[in-house]
Amino acid sequence: MTVRIDQTRCIGSGQCVLAAPDVFDQSDDDGLGLVVVAEPSAELLPGVRDAVDRCPAQVVTLEE
Amino acid sequence: MTEAAVCPVPHENRTHPLGPPAGFEEAISAGPVRMLWPNRVEAWVVSSYAGVRQVLSDPRFSANKDGQPEMRTEGEQVLGLPEPGNMNVMDGAEHLRLRRPLARAFMVKRLNEMRPRIQEIVDEHLDAMERAGAPADLVSSVCLPVPSLVIAELLGVPPEHQELFQATTREMFGKNGSRAEYEAKAAELGGVLMKVVEEKKASGTTDDLIGLMVNDTDFDMDELLFLAIGLLAAGHETTSNFFGLFTLTLFENPDQLAILKRDPSRADVIVEELMRYTVGRLGGAGLARRATEDVEVDGVTIHAGDWVAVTFHANLDEELCPHAGELDLERRAVSHLGFGFGPHQCLGANLARAELQILLRTLFTRFPDVRPAVPLVEMDFREDMITYGAATIPVVW
Ligand code: HEM
Ligand code: SF4
């Protein structure tokens, strides 16, 4: 299971950070979304799925 | 698909101050329907959760209102929101150029650092309300002043300009003035902001929003001033109206208010549910877009050039969550549409969240017996501002 963010369309909204604070962060340089844990453990997955759903730019993906 | 009948979008005739315009729910119940906006422009009203997400995130729908200024919201028309920095009506790369550099100022961790200061501002205003004694008007004592002070903080307006800044914004956004009055105040506010800009230039700071725009973006002076004023407009009245609407919704639902009082530490999740339910219940035609190609939405073909109005009523769609028509503060946070969706989703959402969480938690912790001093139906609501809200909320405690 791999988490990715397509930064080319990310608007830095931070919804991913709100949904899964242990998996995502925002870059201090530009506020864009960052994946900190690319291969999250099972207990983090509900939060990641929530982030996929909530990302307004629809650029968070989880490859199962 | 046969052409649906064109009926007017019902407006300004709510049968309950927190409910939808009369006839609106019936009109949208059969899927996308063509309606007339109050200004006689015909638009498709899309009301399903999936349909609204699609319209707001598909690049084939444009946010550009050029050539059709009447598709702006009434508030936008009254205010005539400035053009060069109005990201709200821009698409694609042009939109990202203005929006992205601001993301840093609204980062979740930045706003978390601001929370103690927001708490201080909220405490000061509740102290003053308590000292003045009951009954108090929640709108003028808390709802209006808190968001404007918080935005001044975020923008980085220094203390010596605060008084003039507050007075001007209060007069600009606190009441329903004419276009001419608004423009006069905007010019005065522009003067204050110019001074602030010069100071940021001299200090080179990027620690606040104006400093960031001055010292770390390619925005020209017009864009910069208009962005600052636009942010004030967007962040001032929305947050204050919603705090009022949330409080009234809780007064109407004492069993739900009890949930907040029992566990105020859940204010974050509670704000999401209040947002989902409150804007969903108000319904009405919310955000406008225009198709640039033929696009199928909810089984109908929306033709290139057609206007679409998405309604927040989609927040009550069962596809989003079970028993969606009910307020349930024990629900986990769901992906509601109260702040929009897609690239234009509210830039200030995380700031508004922090303010609303702190305001609700503090109000009901400090004043557990706070309650309306007059019945809801006797309160005066304003439909003609940027967003809908109560003009005054008399309370006792
Ligand atoms: C409860 C409070 C608020 C609500 C309900 C709200 C709602 C919204 C909605 C629905 C949109 C999307 C408009 C569209 O798609 O056409 C939006 C956009 C926007 N909001 Fe808010 N807002 C709130 C507070 C704020 C605050 C505090 C700020 C700034 C300090 C702000 C700044 C903006 C800006 C700049 C946009 C345009 C973003 C863009 O076009 O990319 N809002 N807001
Ligand atoms: S939620 Fe999406 S748009 Fe927002 S910061 Fe995360 S990846 Fe970027």
3-state secondary structure B13-69: CECCCCCCECCHHHHHCCCCEEEECCCCCEEEEECCHHHHHHHHHCCCEECCCCCCH
The closest alpha carbon to B307, from B328, B290, B284, B322, belongs to B290
Single pTM value for the model = 0.93
ipTM passes above 0.85: yes
Taking an 8 Å cut-off on Cβ atoms, the answer to whether B345 and A53 are in contact is no
The closest alpha carbon to B367, from B135, B139, B121, belongs to B135
Query: How far is the CA of B360 from the CAs of B96, B131, B267, B326, in angstroms?
Result: 33, 19, 7, 20
Architecture of the structural domain at A2-63 = 2-Layer Sandwich (3.30)
In this prediction, residue B40 carries a pLDDT of 67
In this prediction, residue B1 carries a pLDDT of 35
Please say whether the beta carbons of A17 and A24 come within 8 A: yes
Which residue has tokens 């405490």?
Answer: B123
Residue nearest to atom 43 of ligand 1 (CA): B346
**What residue segments make up the domains of chain A, in order of their start?**
2-63
Mean pLDDT of A28-34: 95
Report the atom number in ligand 2 closest to the C-alpha of A19.
Answer: 1
Measured from the CB, is residue B233 less than 6 Å from ligand 1?
no
Please say whether the beta carbons of B314 and B320 come within 8 A: yes
Q: What's the rounded Cα separation, in Å, for the pair A8 and A29?
A: 15
Closest in B101, B107, B343 to A14, CB measured: B107
In this prediction, residue B10 carries a pLDDT of 56
The closest alpha carbon to B334, from B276, B392, B385, belongs to B276
Nearest-Cα distance to chain A for B132, in Å, is: 38
In this prediction, residue B3 carries a pLDDT of 43
For the record, the structure tokens of B190 come out as 């522009």
In this prediction, residue B41 carries a pLDDT of 75
Positions in chain B whose pLDDT score sits under 50:
1-5, 74-75, 77-80, 82
In this prediction, residue B78 carries a pLDDT of 45
Q: Write the pLDDT tens digit of every residue in B169-210.
A: 666 665 556 667 767 777 777 888 889 999 999 999 999 999
Give the contacts of B29 (CB within 8 A, at least 6 positions apart). Answer: none
CB-based burial label for A61 (10 Å; 0-12, 13-18, 19+): middle
Q: What's the rounded Cα separation, in Å, for the pair B185 and B170?
A: 10
In this prediction, residue B70 carries a pLDDT of 55
CB-based burial label for B50 (10 Å; 0-12, 13-18, 19+): middle
Residue nearest to atom 40 of ligand 1 (CA): B88
Taking an 8 Å cut-off on Cβ atoms, the answer to whether A56 and B100 are in contact is no
Q: What's the rounded Cα separation, in Å, for the pair B117 and B150?
A: 8
Q: What's the rounded Cα separation, in Å, for the pair B74 and B89?
A: 15
Find which of A8, A10, A13 to mutate to test the B interface (most B CBs within 10 Å of its CB): A13
In this prediction, residue B290 carries a pLDDT of 92
Measured from the CB, is residue B87 less than 6 Å from ligand 1?
yes
Residue to mutate (ligand 2; options A3, A5, A7, A8; most atoms within 8 A of CB):
A5
The closest alpha carbon to B146, from B160, B163, B165, B166, belongs to B166
Nearest-Cα distance to chain A for B219, in Å, is: 16
Nearest-10 Cα torsion for B233, B236, B238, B244: -150
Architecture of the structural domain at B7-396 = Orthogonal Bundle (1.10)
